[in-house]
Amino acid sequence: MRAYMYVRPALAMCGRRALSNTSSASCSAVPSTLVHAALSVLNTPDPAAKAQLSQMHARQWLSGQITAIRPDDSETKLQPPDEPARGECPPIVSSGDMPRVKDLAKAQHMLFYMHSIAHVELSAINLSWDTVARYACLAPQLPREFFADFIRVADDESRHFLMLSSRLRELGSFYGAFPAHALIVQTLQNSCGHDWQALLRRLVLGQLSQEARGLDAGPRLANRLQGAGDNVSANIVAQIAHEEIEHVRIGLDWFLFCCAQLQIQDPMLEFQETAISLSNPGAFSPPFNHERRMLAGLQPEWYEPVAEALQQRLAALPPLRNHQLKQPQKP
């Protein structure tokens, strides 16, 4: 099997361009509202500049330079983009077109995993600011603490992305060297409304599915990196995995708040029905890190039935495509 090498000249140029833009967030203009701040991050294509701008706006919020959440009624047309701006790299492909680890050169295996996490972190920056901008219309019923929580999450994700992209460079690679998935687009599409129900779906698909998945996968990857002798990368991934616990807990708290707003009597059942109807099986595939999930407040009786239902749905699909692929066509 040919080993894939994704460090092509065009992509290497992307890496250099990302480096050259690292100072573009040094502009000190203060957005008039959180929605303006969120849109500036979402509309920034360069990954490093996006992360740095995200950190700057988080500091401006924390220091009291930004106090208003949303514009007055004359500017209510301000909306987050359907898809956050992104650079040319990495190429976005469907999950079926992602490279398989076994097809990569062995020296690239860990780089590929770290690149995947870096992409998740960049997607999480976009998702956090989209959440701030999209649901600002629910303020003041949605309190300031909600926005403070998601700005803190965005700030964490920005630091995570910059830590990983910096480490990738130290290892001779860069963010953009491998293809990446478009999972965020699906999440945005499934929660693109501006009401409590859309916010509830966002929290299920974002914090309680994708981020909770990170609680399972992060510690495993840290152990593998340590086993491969890369303690620096292992420590970075372990730190990120630890900090993601708080993100899931924040998601669960606000999910329960949404349920109360919508007068939903059984939040666990609501979570399960939403997750089963909108998730891919990969978002809930065992083995789960029950210990980490419980630290975030997620009990196994919430997510294990979701995993079972999604697996049963997958098993019930007609194996037509695989059958056709495996059977030689008769002349």
Using CB under 5 A, which of the segments 9-17, 81-89, 154-162, 189-197 binds Fe ion?
Answer: 154-162
DSSP code per residue over 106-169: GGGHHHHHHHHHHHHHHHHHHHHHHHHHHTGGGTTTS-HHHHHHHHHHHHHHHHHHHHHHHHHH
Please, which of residues 118-137 interact with Fe ion by CB under 5 A? 121, 124
Instruction: Give me the torsion for CA of 293, 283, 287, 178, rounded to 10°.
Output: -110
Using CB under 5 A, which of the segments 77-85, 155-163, 278-286, 315-323 binds Fe ion?
Answer: 155-163
Q: Using CA atoms, how far apart are residues 20 and 90, in angstroms rounded to an integer?
A: 17
Element housing 96 (H / E): none
**Cis preceding-peptide flag for 90 (omega within 30 of 0):** yes
**Pick 127 or 177: Cβ nearer Fe ion:** 127
Indicate which single residue of 157, 200, 212, 298 sits in contact with Fe ion (rule: CB under 5 A): 157
Tell whether residue 201 is a contact of Fe ion (CB under 5 A).
no
Using CB under 5 A, which of the segments 44-52, 53-61, 65-73, 152-160 binds Fe ion?
Answer: 152-160
Tell whether residue 160 is a contact of Fe ion (CB under 5 A).
yes
Tell whether residue 46 is a contact of Fe ion (CB under 5 A).
no
How many of the chain's residues bind Fe ion (CB under 5 A)?
7
**Rounded least distance, CB 244 to Fe ion, Å:** 5
**Pick 70 or 292: Cβ nearer Fe ion:** 292
Using CB under 5 A, which of the segments 75-83, 86-94, 240-248, 271-279 binds Fe ion?
Answer: 240-248
Place of tokens 């898809």: 83
Place of tokens 């460079």: 169
Tell whether residue 149 is a contact of Fe ion (CB under 5 A).
no
CA within 13 Å, CB half, 163:
19
**Pick 244 or 270: Cβ nearer Fe ion:** 244
Tell whether residue 247 is a contact of Fe ion (CB under 5 A).
yes
Tell whether residue 244 is a contact of Fe ion (CB under 5 A).
yes
